[in-house]
Every structure is written in structure tokens, then in C-alpha cells.
Amino acid sequence: MTESVNLNGNERIDQLYSQDIKIIQSSEVFSFSLDAVLLANFAKLKASPKVKIMDLCAGNGAVGLFASQKTKGQIFQIELQAKLADMGKRSIELNGLQNQVHMVNMDLADTFRKFEKDTFDFVLCNPPYFKNQIASKKNPNPYLAVARHEIKTNLDQVLETSAGLLKMNGKLYLVHRPDRFSEIMASLARHRLAPKKIRLVYPRQHSEANMVLIEAIKDGRKGGMRFVEPLYTYEGKEYSTEVKGLLYGRKKS
């Protein structure tokens, strides 16, 4: 791991202790949150160095960096916002992962100008969650607005791009909002992506779900979708045992 890396103003280094991964973050731009950790954990990746993995809407690179601890495969990341992509590149260097993880600053719409179709084994994506409606209230910070709202891309384009990248029987892992579940299912079907495993995430017991994790297979057989055990973020005022394990590592018995 690289000992040091240049930090710009208002930047800091945060750490996912369970994996010893360090990430450059800033209060001025979008920072990774629990959904990135949950998505990387949910993804079942092959360990082989021959696999190719794409992290779309990569932000500052958190999902791909976390996923790098589960595979020896090559991980590519696409991020539109130059400042976030630059932070991601420096985080890759900070963790000494330059030979495995590769950040590309580009528009999702230009994906196939650089990457060949039908060549990836896995696609991971933590996309903007909220529709870009004229009347909707958006964060005044443009970095946060683009990361959270479908200003530069949308759900259908994300899933169309994912399907284009994946080989037959390649897998997509997506985190999104449950209130858009029916829309997600319809878009998956349009783009030959068969949902196979669903996990709902709840803030705590007896509350409504606020995240959904989805595994889908390109050109997979219809049917066979499973809802696996739910995940609860909190137990009382503290993180649940499962979430603590993902963030800080599990205590050895």
C-alpha cells in the first residue's frame, strides 16, 4: 500500500476498517455511504484474475475499491465528474491497486467508445436514485445533485449500458430505492436482464425498506427470483451486528 498521496483542500482519508481500504473523501463533493459497502458485499464475484468487472456511476471509487478485496479480476470504473474521478484515481494509488483497479473519467453515454460490448463478467452500479423532475428539490451543491438525481443519466440508460457490457450469463449487481422497484423490474426485462436475487434493506425492524439490492443475469431464464433474508441497519441506536461486521470487521470468537 502506498504510504502517502497528495490531498487537495478539504480532502480527508476515510477507512473501511473491515477491509483496510482507504478512500479520499471531501465535504465538498459526494462521499460514499453505507449503500456502497452493502453493494460490494452483496456482489458475488469470482476470484479468478481472468474476470472483468465494471463499476458504473463510480463516484470516488468506493464500490470498486471494496470489491477489489473479493477478486483478483480487473476492475474498471466510469465516473462523469472529473473531481470525483480524480479522487478515485488517487485512492487507487493510496491502496496500491493501480494494477487491478482503473478509473476512467467519462460520460456513461460514451461507454462503448472505449469498452467493447459483451466482454464483462460483472457490472456493479450505485446510480443516482431520484428522477430529474423539474419540480423536485435538488441539492444546491452540483456534485451532490448529479450524484443523487438523474441529471446526466437515468435508470434505463444505466441498465441498457450494463446489459451491453455483460457477456451472456454475466451478472449485474445494483443498489437502488424500493419505491422504484416496479420501474427497475420493467427496465431489467427490456434489457434482457433477469432478476434472480433481491435483498431489502431496512433502517430497523418494523420500518419500511429504504434500499434494495438486486442481482440480475443477462439472458438468464425467466422466473426463479428469490427474496433473501432482509438486512437491518440498526439495532436500537447502534449499527446492527451485520453492519458492524461490514464496517469494522467481525470479532474473532
Instruction: Name the residue among 212, 149, 133 with its Cα closest to residue 177.
Output: 212
Whole-number Å distance between alpha carbons of 24 and 11: 7
The residue type of 51 is V
User: pLDDT tens for residues 215-242?
Assistant: 999 999 988 999 999 999 999 999 999 9
List domains and CATH numbers for the chain.
Answer: 11-248 (3.40.50.150)
User: pLDDT tens for residues 166-193?
Assistant: 999 999 999 999 999 999 999 999 999 9
- What is the pLDDT at residue 217? 98
57 grid coordinates: 456511476
Distances (CA, A) of 203 to 128, 200, 231, 238: 20, 10, 8, 11
User: At 152, is the pLDDT very low, low, confident or very high (cuts 50, 70, 90)?
Assistant: low
- What is the pLDDT at residue 184? 97
Instruction: Name the residue among 22, 17, 19 with its Cα closest to residue 5.
Output: 22
Of 200 and 1, more confident: 200
User: At 253, is the pLDDT very low, low, confident or very high (cuts 50, 70, 90)?
Assistant: very low
| CB within 8 Å of 124: residues ≥ 6 apart | 39, 40, 43, 53, 54, 55, 56, 63, 64, 67, 172, 173, 174
